[in-house]
Structure 1
């Protein structure tokens, strides 16, 4: 099959399969319900909804709808501003999935570019592309994600979509396009090194600038890889290859690409400090630390083994040698290398061929252990060099077979890397059948849910805040989840669907979420004195109180659910009563 058609068909298949659970959810919507368009980790996806909703309203500066503290928004997320304009015309779910599919297509196209900049063999490129599209790690051996183990005691391919390309295509409109920017940055840098033309750097400059705006911490990943590659050119190789002096002109391209990243990165860093809420929240999120290294390596699984096979890679990986625009040699073919028998030389710049991919592999994992609260999120992009090197390794491993066996062995080699992704999708499809997600938020909105959200969207002011009672069914759906009895199904939907501030809106976006949950329990505790309850509502600037009928069924040692259907405080006025919920306005 012609190479270009192969990439087109395989990429289309990957994007289609990654959309499978969403199509299943839409086609199987229960009568009277509305499908939100979401499956896995609905909480965070509703944060993306809120960004699009705000942009569609004309509020381009990022405002947090999941916390009630004073804000001084300065952040502008360009990608979600664009999606917000689309959402204004098409609706939130459709804009979400348009962004996801288009961002995924951009990522796969960028990978094709990088393949041609790093790998000579067409067969190896095709295998690498297939691994990028479909591969995962060894998480399937433990049966997929187990919530009882948390995020630190199981392979990352069971729970971390940023770490696996297929899951990035599936999960959201954020991860795939941001990974695409990373790939474009490196491919452009490599092309500029190969041709010696600074004009070939403009895609890297644009990609770095946009990434600095929309997913800022990945600029650290980018520049760490690029500069470590550059520094490797200074290391002496084994005899007879001495170290060489790198001329100033050879640093110019990397300096220009680095400079392009800095303005948006610096602005985002400044803006995040000017907004007190964003500053406080960003550095108090302790839920995203990277698990032990072996869980990361197991999460990359078989592709990582293929990538590190001791094969003669020099004939397959592209050598970044060439001629500069002025006709002089780029110096890439004669430079010494600390790994001369394994990988081709880096040359004068950001890297080339196998050594670039190997350095990206190592640094891409290493940056996930920097001392920051959002460590494991920085694994985004590390799967790409693993798959590219794995394609070369699998090619070398199977090429010596005779007849049709190379094709058969390569096919099964790729197929063996797929099971974790299959389990991930099947688990989400299974949860759709029970109207549950990986958190307490439900993917289907009942008729009563829709009435409440529509009322708030129409009648509540943008500065009004809502507090939501716990969902009595969440403890039944999540018996093993810590504090599941205090989760509220509609809380994240208040901000992400109705566009109204929610006092107890989101486990990470809400500042001091555990403390606010304690306040929430006091508000809805039948044993709380009405005067104390009124004071709590006023102190926290809460304008609406949403009670899920049946909340009084929840009885624990800490609290007893309110029974306001019989007696309600005088300072609460019911403004909407449905079969399952009552919405009160605080007088």
Structure 2
């Protein structure tokens, strides 16, 4: 692929993953505040909560989405680091988040270019360009199922697709870029200085995307085993320099989580099951069908060994994604990369065919692979233009958040409706009773209890006992709390410490 094509396609990618957010930020005007996320705002708010911990000067993760603090541990250091950067530079957290996302997106595009150049070295420039375009903009055929009410993986499993990874957050594209850099290094010799660089990158991957170490290790191990069986090369012991730090960090993470009752409760809920097989077939096709066809052709022609790593990644990803394991979907991390690279070989062969229908078929296949992401892009802009409540909240709520940030006290716990409490940790640094469906221990129970309080299903006596049991010292009453429909006369039992047109904050008198 020419450098001109790389520059053009990369620039277009960066524009596509940036423009909707700029539009959404301006669309709210002075009246509404954009929460900063167009895809999966619930997880987005949890990233900001970790950044807020760093902004507050912390380096140890303290799980603000729980009323009870765990023992300090060095988890989620990437987002905590970004919080420190925000504080140091005087930048809003959300600005730093998206600046990191865009920089990580550019780095991923660069590494995709290098990966394609190395692992499709024997293919034409056309093959490489098709592969890069598919990786930057493509996904599956989920848009077809959307017409029948379906919601397949290519709309929400962001970590599997480069475009969605770049569109969602900074740690997915940065983690993928580090993995691809490692895979590229597997084709080169390693000097002493290069080895220390690998160790640093391995530590970076362990911090940014711990499970990425598992994916990288399994794919690299599969390639190494293939080469040993074929007696093609010696064992690459230097790979341990990249993989061992990540493995040690995973062990540390496991020990910390299992030994802490609060983190253990969170981890019990942290389930990421793989979608059904039929869903994956739709979500990665037509590229997946072509990729399998290329593997079959490679086996028959004897050329499959030229594409060991993409083939191993293709096979291992789909098999491991259905291993009984609570994080099985994480094995799909970056899975569209080998799929698209192998599919590009077939598409290029069709494109250079003398048959007119073959060239038309290539255009149709590529176009079909772009539509799901086009749906997401247009849907994001449309949601921002119509000020969907999942994306915006009122300026009065932000004014209350600003007051809370100034008056924050360590270990204060605030009671608020789920719509508000998902925002509070990142915006204010306060703890909440319920904030996230995974990160809040006993999340379903806590959410139900909070909704019972604001919908009038809990007596004042029971409330006071509940406040004491969880150390709730503050009550936030705003638009989301009133939407639950309960009679909020009970709040008059508590003194007001802040009030504006839409929000009232009360103190319960409970020691947090």
Q: TM-score, normalised by structure 2?
A: 0.91
Matched, 1:453 2:417: no
C-alpha deviation, 1:134, in angstroms = 0.6
Q: 1:563 to 1:226 in 2, by over 3 A?
A: same
Deviations, residues 472-514 of structure 1 (Å, cap 9, x unaligned): xxxxxxxxxxxxxxxx321111011111111111111111011
Point out the more displaced range, 12-21 or 200-209. 200-209
Q: 1:141 — aligned with what?
A: 144
Q: 1:255 to 1:229 in 2, by over 3 A?
A: same
Q: 1:414 — aligned with what?
A: 366
Specify which of 120, 130, 133 is matched with residue 130 of structure 1: 133
Specify which of 211, 217, 224 is matched with residue 217 of structure 1: 211
* Structure 1 portions without partners, runs of 5+: 236-242, 315-338, 346-352, 470-487, 556-560
Q: 1:530 to 1:256 in 2, by over 3 A?
A: closer
Structure 2 counterpart SS, 1:576:
strand
C-alpha deviation, 1:184, in angstroms = 1.2
Matched, 1:102 2:27: no
Specify which of 475, 490, 496 is matched with residue 426 of structure 2: 496
Structure 2 counterpart SS, 1:175:
helix
Whether the 8 Å CA contact 1:281–1:509 is kept in 2: the answer is: yes
How many Å separate the matches in 2 of 1:586 and 1:173? 39
Q: 1:397 to 1:513 in 2, by over 3 A?
A: same
Matched, 1:573 2:495: yes
How many Å separate the matches in 1 of 2:176 and 2:147? 24
Q: 1:19 to 1:527 in 2, by over 3 A?
A: closer
* Structure 2 portions without partners, runs of 5+: none
Q: 1:553 to 1:25 in 2, by over 3 A?
A: closer
Q: 2:338 — aligned with what?
A: 385
Q: 1:476 — aligned with what?
A: none
How many Å separate the matches in 2 of 1:9 and 1:250? 39
C-alpha deviation, 1:578, in angstroms = 2.7
Specify which of 374, 383, 387 is matched with residue 435 of structure 1: 387
Structure 1 counterpart SS, 2:253:
helix
Whether the 8 Å CA contact 1:144–1:423 is kept in 2: the answer is: no
The aligned runs of 1:144-223 (5 Å cut-off) are 146=149, 154-192=151-189, 204-223=198-217
C-alpha deviation, 1:544, in angstroms = 0.8
How many Å separate the matches in 2 of 1:284 and 1:417? 33
Deviations, residues 438-497 of structure 1 (Å, cap 9, x unaligned): xxxx3223121112211211113131011113xxxxxxxxxxxxxxxxxx3211110111
C-alpha deviation, 1:7, in angstroms = 0.8
Specify which of 237, 244, 251 is matched with residue 252 of structure 1: 237
Q: 2:53 — aligned with what?
A: 54
How many Å separate the matches in 2 of 1:145 and 1:517? 31
How many Å separate the matches in 1 of 2:185 and 2:480? 58
Q: 1:53 to 1:399 in 2, by over 3 A?
A: same
Q: 1:204 to 1:413 in 2, by over 3 A?
A: farther
Whether the 8 Å CA contact 1:185–1:205 is kept in 2: the answer is: no
Q: TM-score, normalised by structure 1?
A: 0.80
Whether the 8 Å CA contact 2:65–2:434 is kept in 1: the answer is: yes
How many Å separate the matches in 2 of 1:402 and 1:344? 26
Structure 2 counterpart SS, 1:40:
coil
Q: Which has the larger radius of gyration?
A: 1
Aligned length: 505
Q: 1:408 to 1:109 in 2, by over 3 A?
A: farther
How many Å separate the matches in 2 of 1:257 and 1:457? 40
Specify which of 467, 488, 504 is matched with residue 563 of structure 1: 488
Whether the 8 Å CA contact 1:74–1:275 is kept in 2: the answer is: no
Structure with greater helix percent: 2
Q: 1:340 to 1:226 in 2, by over 3 A?
A: farther
Whether the 8 Å CA contact 1:50–1:499 is kept in 2: the answer is: yes
How many Å separate the matches in 2 of 1:361 and 1:72? 40
How many Å separate the matches in 1 of 2:4 and 2:360? 20
C-alpha deviation, 1:78, in angstroms = 4.1
Whether the 8 Å CA contact 1:73–1:271 is kept in 2: the answer is: no
Structure 2 counterpart SS, 1:179:
helix
